[in-house]
Structure 1
Amino acid sequence: MKAIRWTAGDKPGLLLHDEAMPDPGPHEVVVKVHAASLNFRDQAILDGAYGGPTKPNGVPLSDGAGEVIAVGREVKRTKVGDRVSASCCQHWIGGPARPEYQADSLGMTTDGWLAETILLHENAIVHLPDYMSYAEAASLPCAAVTAWTGLNLSSPLQAGETVLVQGTGGVALFALQVAKMFGAKVLAITSSDEKAERLKTLGAAAVVNYRSHPEWDKEILALTDGRGVDKTIDIAGEKTIVQSAAATRNGGDISLVGFTSGFGGGLPPIDILAKSLHVAGTSIGSRASFEALLRAMALHEVHPVLDQVFAFADYQSAYQRLKSGNHIGKVVIDVTR
């Protein structure tokens, strides 16, 4: 089989390998990969800018989907022929995050989806709804589950609440789609009028161009009659967190889900204290969260927003597309072509 692996060094590259097919252990499953998708951290690893642990010479990408082609003798949760994806942290079944769950994190501390087959523990397996394509399903495990978790972190999202999302990447668009499923009102910020129009077609009630309006938090306050939004999904971190706090109502929630603008930031504790804000980091989510997300999506037959689908041989172009920042939705690789 063919697999892409990181090269060694502080700033790894990507290299194609020919390898033997994996054999499943007693509780393991071999999946023929149909599609895989990229997240911001995949590019951060290549740039040497990711601070988390990674497997030396590992296979990248935490998100993918495919068909079960072999199972271990003790496997009970799936069978050959099933259409599946997998929870990024393979042994995080439910409940809050724990450090040990990172030990088997796909595309990070263990081999990921950028290969023709992947070896998974049965604990990670999540079954796909029939209406969803492999390419669509491959976009879900990190970005969509993060959005779901972030919107329900300190309190469940309620119909009629107002949510602020940032940008047009995977997490932002999934947050928009999930919020709309719950009956929430979505406001958004983005970098261009073109992207703003796309966000509106996807259901955003109003969009602020943060290049035209650098003090975008004031625009969001104006759109909420000075109250602020109930929940903010903060994607960028360093350059947005202070304004996110300003745009969020007293007692509101800020879910910090990314670091696209850097790891720093200067949110004064008094800003949190004075408004009784709930600020929390969002670390993807459990298998139970993934399954709950899929049930909700299937009920409404929601289709993920895909930016572009690349052939397996064009994996470098997929990374370049992600790095450009011009994508709207998820960048996907079709491993079968």
Structure 2
Amino acid sequence: MQAIQLTAPNINALTISELPRPLPGQGEVLIRQHAVSLNYLDLALATGQFRDLPQPIIPGADSAGEIVELGAGVHGWEIGEPVIPGMMHSWHAGLIRAEHHHALRGVTGNGGLAEFAVVPAASLVRIPEFLSWQQAATLPIAATTAWNAIVRGKVQPGSTVLLLGTGGVSLFALQYAKAAGARVIMLSSSDEKLAKVKALGADEGINYRDEPEWDKRVLALTHGQGADLVLESVGAATFAKSISAAAYNGTIFVIGFVGGAELTVPVLPIMQKMLNIVGNNTGSTADLRQAVRAIEVSGIVPEIDRVFAFAETQQAYRYLQSAGHVGKVVIDLKA
């Protein structure tokens, strides 16, 4: 089978290889993969932000495909079913534990950028019929993360949600929040991107280059109340302003660190506002199943910015690195 292998921590080291087709073992299935969506996690792996990881490795945490072979002891699945595997494939449900970090698809073990992949049957979720392979491939990390933010932030009709950026998680959070009847404010450095997300349902857009004190703008838009949920995707560069923009009893859901991983933040407003600072580590298979169910019930269609061919994998990674996207970046394994 053809596969992309990462042989060194460099995007140029993403190369096409010919490898044996894997065989499913006990409790596993073999899936023929049709599409992969990229996440910041994949980019971090390909640019050396993780250490002591196995190489060569087939990257790609998220993919969509169909079951073509069942391993011994697999029940409840049939050949031909369209599925997506969860990224943390040993975390089936409940609270996260330390051992769940030892099985990260496309990071500690082979992932989606290959014609075929073996995955644990317990990590699979069925794909809704109305989604394409490309759309379904965007769900495991981004949709699960966004769904957990909405749940932990207790978003309901009348809530205000603040989203930092226009990436895949933010777009899913926008769609989930609007389905829940919430008001959504989004930040970007691009007026063009803000116009796109407003067309997708965002109520307000703030260009943080034009308004560097965007937290004050959020407070003004909410009559001094602030946002009930802040999706904090940047990290150190924005965290203090996220605290300022949050409502009393609000939730800051932390999903990224592209703006720095070491925080210096004011403690007093966290105490005064009784804020909930919640970390995120994607989610379990049960979380993914709930996220997909919400998409199915609400008729949410994932927003894809651009699709690349399998042979254009390096270009896809560089496009994600450029941060020019609104929504998800996808690689079509059949193109």
TM range (shorter): over 0.9
1-side partners of 2:115 and 2:239: how far apart?
39
Q: How does 1:155-170 map to 2 (within 5 A)?
A: 155-170=153-168
**Alignment match, 1:279:** 277
Give the TM-score taking structure 1 as reference length: 0.96
1:270 Cα deviation from its structure 2 partner = 2.2
Whether the 8 Å CA contact 1:151–1:233 is kept in 2: the answer is no
What's the CA shift for 1:10?
8.4
Residue 107 of structure 2 is aligned to residue 108 of structure 1: yes
1:47 corresponds to which residue? Answer: 47
Question: 5+ unaligned residues in a row in structure 2: which ranges?
Answer: none
Q: Is the 8 A contact 2:139 2:292 kept in 1?
A: no
> Structure 1's 312 and 285: CA in aligned 2 closer, same or farther, altered over 3 A?
same
Contiguous gaps of at least 5 residues in structure 1: none
Identity of aligned residues (%): 39
Partner of 2:182: 184
Aligned to 1:26: 26
Alignment CA distance shift 1:85-1:11 (3 Å): closer
Report deviation, 1:8: 3.5
2:192 is matched with 194
- Structure 1 contact 12–48 (Cα < 8 Å) conserved: no
Alignment of 1:146-157 (within 5 A): 146-153=145-152, 155-157=153-155
Match of 1:205 in 2: 203
Correspondence for 2:319 among 318, 321, 331 = 321
Q: Is residue 269 of structure 1 aligned with residue 267 of structure 2?
A: yes
Output aligned runs, 1:1-337, within 5 Å: 1-8=1-8, 13-50=13-50, 54-153=53-152, 155-337=153-335
Superposed CA RMSD: 1.5
Q: Distance in 2 between matches of 1:50 and 1:201?
A: 37
Q: Deviations over 1:144-172 (max 9, x none)?
A: 1011112222x532222110001111111
CA contact (8 A) 1:11 1:45 kept: no
Asked if the contact 2:34/2:333 (under 8 Å) is kept, the reply is: yes
Q: Which runs of 4+ in 1 moved over 6 A?
A: none
Is the Cα contact below 8 Å between 1:55 and 1:111 reproduced in 2?
A: no
Deviation at 1:286, TM superposition (A): 1.1
The CA distance in 1 between the partners of 2:171 and 2:159, in whole Å, is 17
Distance in 2 separating the partners of 1:179 and 1:76: 35
CA contact (8 A) 1:77 1:122 kept: no
1:169 corresponds to which letter in structure 2?
G
Q: Kindly tell me: are residues 184 and 172 of structure 1, through their superposed partners in 2, closer, same or farther at Cα, counting changes over 3 Å?
A: same
Aligned residues: 335
